[in-house]
Structure 1
Amino acid sequence: LYDSTLAILEEILARGSVRFEYEVIPGISSVSALAARHRVGLNRVGGPVQITTGRRLAEGWPDGVDDVVVMLDAHESFRHHLAADPVIHWGAYVGTDDEILVSGRLSEVADRIGELRSGARARKGWIMDTYLLRRDPGLSDGSPSDRP
C-alpha cells in the first residue's frame, strides 16, 4: 500500500551516489480511511476483498471476490462495470480538508464521480482517489451516501 515509494528509495540507495536512512511509519492507509469515511467494512463476513489497480479492473472483475478496492485509476475503469451495477464507495483526497465522497449504485453516480474528478483535478492539478466496488449490494453493510 506504499505504492512505489519504498522501491524508489531502494533504487536511489542502490545507485550509491547518496546515502540516507529511512523509516517506514505505519499509519492509516487510504483504503482504510475510505472504508471508515463511508462507514463500511472492506469485506463482508467470511468474504475476501481484493485491492487492485484501475488497469487490472479494466481487464475484468477479479475472480472469486465480490468486494474490490481500486487504487491508481486514471481512466475511470469502474465504467467498464456499469452493466453489473455494483455499489461504489468512492473518495478523493480522503482524510483531508478537500475530501470528496460519493456512494451509491454505479449506474446512478458514475457520471457525478466523473464530473467531481475532472473538477478536482482542474482545481488542484492532480487527483488521488480510491474506491470500493461491491457486488450484491443487498449484502452491503452501509447505506449509500453522497457527500461531496
Structure 2
Amino acid sequence: MAAELDEHQTGGFLVWGDPSLYDGTIRVIGTIITRGALTLDYDVIPGISSVQALAARHRITLNRVASPVHVTTGRRLAEGLPNNTDDIVVMLDADLACKNLRAENIEIYWGAYLGTDDEILVSGKLGDVIDHIEQTRRELRQRRGWIMDTYLLRRNPRHEAP
C-alpha cells in the first residue's frame, strides 16, 4: 500500500464472503496499524455476504420458525454437530467435514462462487448429493486453483409450507 498510494489516495480490498465472519482482512489491517507499519484510516463497507447469497439463491431461510442458526467452520464441524440447533451454516471447510455425516438425516444447501457468473448450487439429502459435491469441488479447485464455498446443513428436515 505504501509503495502504490500516496498520502492523498485511497485504496481498497474486496473481500469475498463476509468481513464480519471468519475474515482475516480486518485483523491484518489492525496489525499493520498496531505495528506502526503504516498510518491509515479505514472503513468496512458491508455488502451481501456469502451466507446471505447462499440462502437467497436456494430460496430458503437459514433457520426455521423460532429456531436458532449456528455458524461455524469446517474444522469445528469435524468435532461434531452442535447440540443446540438443527440449522448449521458452515464456512471455511477445506476438507468438506460434512461428508462424515452422510448417514444422518440431514439436508444440505451448498453453493460455490456465490454471486458470480460461475456460481454452482447443489441441494438435497446429504447422503444422496455429497459425492457429487465432493467431485465438483475437486474439479473446480483443479480447474481454477481455488474454491470458495459455503453450505447450510439442516438436521431433521421438516418440509414446511412457505
Report the Cα distance in structure 2 between the residues aligned to 1:99 and 1:63, rounded to whole angstroms.
31
| 1:57 CA displacement | 0.4
Is the aligned partner of 1:85 residue 2:105? yes
Bigger radius of gyration, 1 or 2?
A: 2
Which residues of structure 1 form unaligned runs of 5+? Answer: 143-148
Cα distance in 2 between the residues matched to 1:52 and 1:84: 19
**Residue 138 (structure 1) aligns with:** 158
Q: Distance in 2 between matches of 1:65 and 1:43?
A: 9
2:62 counterpart of 1:24: no
Aligned equivalent of 1:96: 116
Q: Hey, what's the Cα distance between the residues in 2 that align with 1:47 and 1:33?
A: 20
1:36 aligned residue: 56
- 8 Å CA contact 2:107–2:154 kept in 1: the answer is yes
Following superposition of structure 1 onto structure 2, how do residues 36-115 of structure 1 map, counting pairs within 5 Å? 36-115=56-135
Q: Distance in 1 between matches of 2:52 and 2:31?
A: 28
Equivalenced residue count is 142
Q: What 5-or-longer segments of structure 2 have no aligned partner?
A: 1-17
Q: Percent identity?
A: 56
Is 2:73–2:93's contact at 8 Å kept on the other side of the alignment?
A: yes
Bigger proportion of residues as helix: 1
Q: Secondary structure at the match of 1:28?
A: coil
Q: CA RMSD in A?
A: 1.3
Aligned amino acid, residue 8 of structure 1? V
Q: Decide which moves more: 66-75 or 7-16.
A: 7-16
Quick one: structure 1 residues 7 and 58, their matched pair in 2 at CA, closer, same or farther if it must change by over 3 Å?
same
Relative contact order: is structure 1 or structure 2 higher (C-alpha 8 Å, sep ≥ 6)? 1
Superposition TM-score, scaled by structure 2 size: 0.84
The alignment's TM-score, normalised by the length of structure 1, stands at: 0.91
